């Protein structure tokens, strides 16, 4: 008898697994079909792809013009503090020392970062989150309307009727459709804007970036690096106009050196976040999930009732997906950490060279040449900082990934 129960349970489980796999396959295909349809509609209507790219270029230019004077002022301040650090004692009971001046210098770098950050790409992410929240609200409303429709009157001047609830359900479905189209549009625009920065990411890769806990960090870092390149270009122009005057050339080269300090500072901050926050949180989730899996496995072994056993097994499969996704998440964060450390190595070498050059070069044209070559190095570092992004296997993993992000952020 027990063997019969086990065989029935196994057959039921296999049937459930097959149905689940079939459902996932259909969901994946329907999601891709919806994405392709929405993308086609968006790209083929009113040349919106070109308009969005032009708008992004215009916004970048306007942002740069608005912050230029403040950035220059802070770069001069940073350069002055940098000079003071060299001459300050390592420790001082009274007055400034290297440590206190470094704190002041970091504050200046933070000010520059806040100035450089153009929130357009970050706003797109917030826009998507709002649309997703609207979809969840609409789905919950549909369930509530369906429940209330059961006992609603057919005709009434006081209470909501069945027909009125049907209309509410239809409106909520239209809202969900509109919000999904908005999400698809936003991802396409983000993909185009990244391409404008020299980074090619497909909408599916944008999906992964938006789901990652370090997504905002990566976007911010990319935006800052782009503006730094623009500033470097302007500094080169000013140096050209200074007619080989060494004092002026060294001043602007010194500002460029502060920009390189800023790159290393940003990379250090992200390394710190990943190592001491994000990875710690995902490791806790992995340990907790493994403990729950062991407990659920024991429950399956001890449970004789077929229905309860099947429910436990479904829970077990869900927990396995959580663990699998958490392990993928951890690998993604670890890979990103390696890439940022590799980028920081290059940035640190560029900074060391810049410091040495600032102290030794006596011909302004040499400084000009070094900044020109440094621009290419900065572009290479920016691309190096972008993680290798692999699209999600399926909708379930995508949803689970987002769940884990919320847990890590808590």
Tell me the per-residue pLDDT of 4-53, one tens digit each, with 9 for 90 and over.
Answer: 333 334 334 334 343 444 443 444 444 444 444 544 454 444 455 566 66
Q: Which of 153, 173, 194 is the last residue of a domain?
A: 194
**Per-residue pLDDT for 128 more than 80?**
yes
Backbone angles phi, psi at 179, to 5 degrees: -70, -35
Quote the tokens at residue 284.
Answer: 């806790």
Distances (CA, A) of 362 to 109, 248, 316, 359, 375: 28, 12, 70, 9, 21
pLDDT at 295: 94
Domain's final residue, options 100, 116, 132: 116
| 128 part of a folded domain | yes
- If asked whether residues 30 and 168 sit together in one domain, one would say no
Q: How far is CA 204 from the centre of its chain?
A: 13
Q: 288 and 178, same structural domain?
A: no
Give the number of other Cβ atoms within 10 Å of residue 360's Cβ. 8
- Measured CA to CA, the distance from residue 121 to residue 223 in angstroms comes to 8
What are the tokens at 150?
């059961």
Q: Is residue 329 part of a domain?
A: yes
| Half-sphere exposure in the Cβ direction for 318 (13 Å, CA) | 11
CA-angle at 212, arms to 211 and 217, nearest 5°: 125
In a domain, 227, yes or no: yes
Kindly give, in sequence order, each residue whose CB lies less than 8 Å from that of residue 364, ignoring residues fewer than 6 positions away.
239, 242, 244, 245, 246, 248, 249, 250
With respect to residue 326, please indicate whether it lies within any of the assigned structural domains.
yes
DSSP string, 122-185: HHHHHHHHHHHHHHHHHHHHHHHHHHHHHH--SS-SSSPPHHHHHHHHHHHHHHHHHHHHHHHH
Domain end call among 194, 226, 256: 194
Q: 211 with 287, same domain? A: yes
Whose tokens are 């609830």? That residue is: 165
Confidence of residue 285 (pLDDT cuts 50, 70, 90): very high
Are 153 and 261 found together in one domain?
A: no
Mean pLDDT rounded to a whole number for the chain: 80
> Which tokens hold the place of 309?
């056993």
Between 81 and 122, the more confident residue is 81
User: Do 387 and 267 sit in the same domain of this protein?
Assistant: yes
pTM summary value = 0.74
In a domain? residue 50:
no
Is 329 found in the same domain as 188? no
| Pair (234, 338) in one structural domain | yes
Residues 377, 294 share a domain: yes
Q: How far apart are CA 217 and CA 45, in angstroms?
A: 33
pLDDT in tens, 226-238: 788 888 888 888 8
Assigned domain for 51 exists: no
Looking at residue 178, its pLDDT comes to: 95
Range name among 43-57, 117-131, 187-201 with the lowest pLDDT average: 43-57
For residues 321 and 212, state if they share a domain: yes
Is 380 found in the same domain as 239?
Answer: yes
Distance CA 320, CA 16 (A): 16
Residue whose pair of structure tokens reads 């019969």 in the numeric block: 4
Q: Residue 51's pLDDT is what?
A: 67
Domain assignment of residue 262, given as a range: 197-410
More confident residue, 157 or 119: 157
Is the pLDDT assigned to residue 319 strictly greater than 70? yes
**Domain identity same for 339 and 380:** yes
CATH number, domain containing residue 294: 1.10.287
Task: Judge if 391 and 409 occupy the same domain.
Answer: yes
How many structural domains comprise the chain? 4
CB 135 within 8 Å of CB 176: yes
Q: Is residue 219 part of a domain?
A: yes
pLDDT of residue 92: 78
The structure tokens listed for 345 are: 């190595």
| Amino acid 244: pLDDT | 59
């Amino acid at each position: 008898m027990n063997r019969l129960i086990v065989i029935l349970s196994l057959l039921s489980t296999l049937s459930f697994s097959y149905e689940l796999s079939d459902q996932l396959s259909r969901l994946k295909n329907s999601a891709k079909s919806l994405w392709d349809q929405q993308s086609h509609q968006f790209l083929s209507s009113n040349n919106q792809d070109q308009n969005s790219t032009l708008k992004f270029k215009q916004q970048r230019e306007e942002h740069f013009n608005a912050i230029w004077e403040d950035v220059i002022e802070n770069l001069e301040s940073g350069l002055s503090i940098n000079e003071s650090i060299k001459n300050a004692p390592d420790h001082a009971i009274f007055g400034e020392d290297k440590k206190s001046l470094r704190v002041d210098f970091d504050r200046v770098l933070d000010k520059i970062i806040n100035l450089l950050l153009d929130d357009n790409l970050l706003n797109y992410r917030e826009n998507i989150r709002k649309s997703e929240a609207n979809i969840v609200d609409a789905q919950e409303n549909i369930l509530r309307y369906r429940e209330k429709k059961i006992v609603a009157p057919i005709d009434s001047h006081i209470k909501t009727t069945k027909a009125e609830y049907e209309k509410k359900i239809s409106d909520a479905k239209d809202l969900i459709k509109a919000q999904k189209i908005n999400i698809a549009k936003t991802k396409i625009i983000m993909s185009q804007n990244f391409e404008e920065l020299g980074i090619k990411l497909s909408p599916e890769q944008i999906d992964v970036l938006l789901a990652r806990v370090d997504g905002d960090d990566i976007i911010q870092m990319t935006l800052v690096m782009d503006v730094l390149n623009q500033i470097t270009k302007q500094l080169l122009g000013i140096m050209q106009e200074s007619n080989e005057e060494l004092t002026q050339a060294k001043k602007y080269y010194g500002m460029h050196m502060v920009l390189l300090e800023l790159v290393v500072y940003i990379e250090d901050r992200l390394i710190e976040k990943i190592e001491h926050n994000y990875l710690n949180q995902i490791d806790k989730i992995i340990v907790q999930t493994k403990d729950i899996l062991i407990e659920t496995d024991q429950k399956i072994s001890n449970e004789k009732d077929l229905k309860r056993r099947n429910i436990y097994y479904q829970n077990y499969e869900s927990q396995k997906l959580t663990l699998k996704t958490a392990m993928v998440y951890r690998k993604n964060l670890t890979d990103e950490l390696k890439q940022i450390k590799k980028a920081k190595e290059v940035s640190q070498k560029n900074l060391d060279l810049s410091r040495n050059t600032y102290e030794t070069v006596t011909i302004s044209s040499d400084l000009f040449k070094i900044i020109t070559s440094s621009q290419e190095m900065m572009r290479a570092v920016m691309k190096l900082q972008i993680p290798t992004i692999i699209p999600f296997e399926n909708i379930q993993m995508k949803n689970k990934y987002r769940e884990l992000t919320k847990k890590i952020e808590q």
